[in-house]
Structure 1
Amino acid sequence: MARAKEDEGKAPTSTRTMWKGAISFGLVHIPVGLYSATVSSGVDFDWLDKRSMEPVGYKRVNKVTGKEIAAADIVKGIEYEDGHYVVLTPEEIAAAYPKITQTIEIETFLDADEIPFVYLERPYYTAPLKRGEKVYALLREALRQSNKVGVAKVVIQTRQHLAVLIPCGPALILNLLRWGGEIRSFEQLNLPPLDAKAAGIKPAEMDMALQLIEDMTQAWDADAFRNSFALEIHKLVESKVAAGETATVVKVDSAREGAPAGADVLDLTALLKRSLEGKGAGAAPRGKAAASVTPLPAARKVTAKAAAKKIPAKKTATRKAPGRRAA
């Protein structure tokens, strides 16, 4: 009954495996699948030609001449100073990509409350595969009882991520983290001192604030916080569908490649003993995995300005096919 109430209002579970591999710590490997833990509540509008109801995409346009150019004439460059770029070839970019491994390599364990919330980026569910339930439960319960989380590196779709494994109910959550250096400092902001007395707060003011917080405190209910704009748009769409105010648009489906299989589970007791016998036994696999990952190019730190500037994300030339659910 409690579980039914907990799941009420939540999006259905995603059972489509996004990634298959293994969680690794010491010499222990836990075969797992990765599943999406979130669903966007935003509204995604597709561009359509109102004359023919055909999808409208983006063009590759030279921003100076305004003319469309061919994909073969496009190169990728990184601005290291104002107006000055370093052009990289596809081969150089490919060489900098981290080697694709199917391992969530735990590098260290931390206290659960030690990672600031500002570093958390995107959560995924993990679930055991190929008779890995026992060792999966072992890691989950060990983390829960020790109040620890595992910090790991993982490569998903050619991109390397820093992540943290967090026990959450019966699941282990893989929450992607922002890298060190991606969080801006707040040192230059005009912030009050980190002390009530130093900030000029009177004891009576603090007491009233604490009382107000206590009066407004309630149990967490995620379903009570919804994207109101998305809800209104969904209602509008439903009313137009009911009234027959719809249009047919050609859909284009993109094929998705299947993920490779995960690792096998070896004898758990033996692996745990070997991992505990000495750091040397457990360090070899970790060092091997770390060596297979190519670090970010040093060219990004040519100048202090380049290091501080956020490199824009890659833009796709063609707009994603329409027909997606507006949520």
Structure 2
Amino acid sequence: MPARSIASLSLSFGLVSIPVKLYTATESSSDVRFHMLAPDGSRVKQQYVSEKTGAVVERSSMNKGYEFEKDRFVVFTSDELKALEDGASHVVEIMAFIPEKAVDPVYYDKAYYIAPDKRGGKPYSLLQQALAESGRCALAKWAAKGKTRIVQVRPEADGLVFQQLLYADEVRPLKELNIEHVQVSDAELKLALQIIEQGAEDNYDPTAYEDEEKKRILAAIDEKIEGKQVVTNEPAEASTGSGQVIDLMDALRASLKGTAKVKTTAAPAPKRRSAEPMTDIPVAPKTRKPATRAAKTPVEAPAKVRARK
């Protein structure tokens, strides 16, 4: 089924106005969805209940309140909140052109695609090629759903990506974690760089990886439909206990050789003078499996689940 646009916009590029259509770039419906059921198998529904009286409150009679002190609220009606919202606009105004890599991906929010609308093919292609040639992306303002957003318009081989960005106060600074920066030796760094080079690839291929959990869930659904007993996968045991440490140089050499065995000793590790490089690090138990490579041939969803889509 062809993609369906969710909005018609006008992208302002200098004195040029480019009519475009907006499309979602991600597909949340690909997740396996479950419904909440009562013991008798019927669906359940949510209800809002007053904390004071215990009576059910209908959504139509609710107001929104901001708690400025403990249990004290200022109340806003729906009309009052609507009056405070930014009015939706079909015009997306480009404010600046910056280097494409200047935006830290941590600020990336929801991604969209934009495609040219009627009579927008030539100016759309002009903007796409100019951005690609310059190595820059566009920063623009977009008012939608009661809020003005900053978006990045960046070129790809097949078109333009319309990337919604987070504001500065929506992203926690990494420095808040006060991460300790420990000195490493030249030998340790050299081995680490060799390991990186050994596993280096030129590009990220998203089709090389697959959602293993989703595959297990779909397979279990088919087994349930067929009346079979579902077998629970036991989590793999951690290779080292929480009380062990691994010699860092031995671990690096073993990683470079592709072997799994490294020398371990009982914790706690012996104290070292601050002038000496640290070569022992504690290893916590593994909590989740790394992403696995997909087979070269595409894996299809179980037949019965596909049939219901």
Indicate the structure whose relative CO is greater, using CA pairs within 8 Å and at least 6 residues apart: 1
Q: Does 1:44 align with 2:27?
A: no
Using a 3 Å threshold, how does the CA distance of structure 1 residues 145 and 44 change in structure 2: closer, same or farther? same
Consecutive unaligned residues of structure 1, counting only runs of 5 or more, are: 1-12, 194-198, 245-324
Cα RMSD, aligned residues only: 2.6
Using a 3 Å threshold, how does the CA distance of structure 1 residues 36 and 211 change in structure 2: closer, same or farther? same
Q: Distance in 2 between matches of 1:110 and 1:85?
A: 43
Q: Does 1:216 align with 2:199?
A: yes
Runs of 4+ displaced beyond 6 Å: none
- 8 Å CA contact 2:151–2:164 kept in 1: the answer is yes
Which residue is equivalent to 2:190? 207
Structure with more strand by fraction? 2
- 8 Å CA contact 1:37–1:123 kept in 2: the answer is yes
SS in 2 for 1:154: strand
Alpha-carbon displacement from aligned partner over 1:231-286 (angstroms, at most 9, x marks no partner): 21122223444569xxxxxxxxxxxxxxxxxxxxxxxxxxxxxxxxxxxxxxxxxx
Alpha-carbon displacement from aligned partner over 1:213-238 (angstroms, at most 9, x marks no partner): 11122242212333222221122223
Q: Normalization by structure 2: what TM-score?
A: 0.67
Quick one: which of 27, 31, 45 aligns to 1:57?
45
Consecutive unaligned residues of structure 2, counting only runs of 5 or more, are: 229-306
Quick one: which of 137, 161, 172 aligns to 1:184?
172
Quick one: which of 79, 99, 103 aligns to 1:115?
103
Using a 3 Å threshold, how does the CA distance of structure 1 residues 43 and 57 change in structure 2: closer, same or farther? same
Identity fraction in percent: 31
Using a 3 Å threshold, how does the CA distance of structure 1 residues 241 and 184 change in structure 2: closer, same or farther? same
- 8 Å CA contact 2:87–2:144 kept in 1: the answer is no
**Equivalent AA in structure 2 for residue 77 of structure 1:** G
Range that drifts further, 17-26 or 35-44: 35-44
Quick one: which of 28, 46, 51 aligns to 2:16?
28
In the TM superposition, residue 50 of structure 1 has moved relative to its aligned partner by 4.7
Alpha-carbon displacement from aligned partner over 1:54-108 (angstroms, at most 9, x marks no partner): 4322101124544312334421012234433221122220111111111222111
**Equivalent AA in structure 2 for residue 226 of structure 1:** E
Which residue is equivalent to 2:154? 166
Q: Normalization by structure 1: what TM-score?
A: 0.64
Which residue is equivalent to 1:235? 219
Aligned length: 230
Q: Does 1:144 align with 2:132?
A: yes
